[in-house]
């Protein structure tokens, strides 16, 4: 009978393999502590960087063909069929007091929901989801009142040397003027 040395026994071989793999293997990634924050969909409107809560959003999409609705206010572009639902399409720039502009290549629709109300609002550009850390939250600086500032929360987020305003979609959708588009 052949006798095996300690190093040749199965346990010793496994121990040697473990030792060599730990010496030459890469270190496993460490789980980082998750910092509290807020996530929203980032967009641009009239030169302002803004974000709207994911809870107030259904989706982002290109503007589909709109059917004009007679005797409505200038800010209502019309209605559009969005996945089988007829939604009002509101040009947010015009609603907030701006002049009508030609269609812009980067313009997108934000489909907003609040309770049973849904609407599509046209914004200048959408950047996708952004995560903002609570530690980067700051008070809203003094800006011109009216317009978009009527629908901005009293705080903002500082990220990458940019100031991101938090858009209050619920306040917009509960506004009596927003609900009544007829002239």
Give the tens place of pLDDT for each residue, 102-151.
Answer: 888 899 999 999 988 999 999 999 999 999 999 999 998 776 767 888 89
Mean pLDDT for the chain overall? 89
Lowest mean pLDDT across 22-36, 63-77, 100-114, 147-161: 22-36
Cα separation, 44 vs 163, in Å, equals 12
pLDDT of residue 19: 84
Contact between 133 and 101 under an 8 Å Cβ cutoff? The reply is: no
More confident residue, 127 or 21: 127
Is the pLDDT assigned to residue 29 strictly greater than 80? no
The band of 3, judged by pLDDT with boundaries at 50, 70 and 90, is low
Q: What global pTM score does this model have? A: 0.77
Confidence of residue 69 (pLDDT cuts 50, 70, 90): very high
3-state secondary structure of 86: strand
Q: Is the pLDDT of residue 31 over 90?
A: no
What gap in Å lies between CA 111 and CA 103, rounded to an integer? 18
Asked if residues 63 and 16 have their Cβ atoms less than 8 Å apart, the reply is: no
pLDDT, average across residues 164-179: 94
Integer Cα distance of 170 and 64 in angstroms = 24
Supply the pLDDT for residue 101: 85
Domains of the chain: 37-179 (2.40.50.180)
If you average pLDDT over residues 83-88, what whole number do you get? 93
Question: How much is the pLDDT for 102?
Answer: 83
Between CA 154 and CA 138 the distance in angstroms is 9
DSSP 10-70: HHHHHHHHHHHHHHHSPPPPPPPPPPPEEEEEEEEETTEEEEEEGGGEEEEEPPPP-B--T
């Amino acid at each position: 009978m052949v006798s095996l040395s300690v190093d040749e026994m199965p346990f010793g071989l496994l121990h040697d393999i473990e030792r060599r793999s730990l010496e030459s293997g890469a270190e496993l990634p460490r789980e980082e502590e998750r910092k509290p924050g807020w996530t929203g969909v980032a967009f641009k409107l009239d030169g302002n960087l803004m974000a709207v809560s994911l809870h107030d959003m259904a989706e982002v999409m290109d503007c589909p063909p709109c059917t004009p609705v007679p005797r409505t206010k200038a800010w209502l572009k019309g209605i559009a069929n969005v996945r089988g639902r007829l939604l009002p399409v509101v040009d947010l720039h015009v609603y907030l007091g701006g002049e009508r502009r030609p269609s812009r290549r980067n313009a997108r629709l934000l489909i907003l929901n609040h309770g049973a109300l849904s609407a599509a609002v046209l914004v200048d550009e959408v950047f996708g989801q952004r995560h903002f850390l609570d530690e980067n939250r700051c008070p809203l600086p003094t800006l011109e009142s009216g317009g978009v500032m009527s629908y901005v929360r009293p705080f903002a987020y500082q990220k990458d040397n940019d100031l991101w305003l938090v858009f209050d979609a619920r306040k917009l959708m509960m506004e009596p003027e927003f609900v009544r588009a007829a002239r």
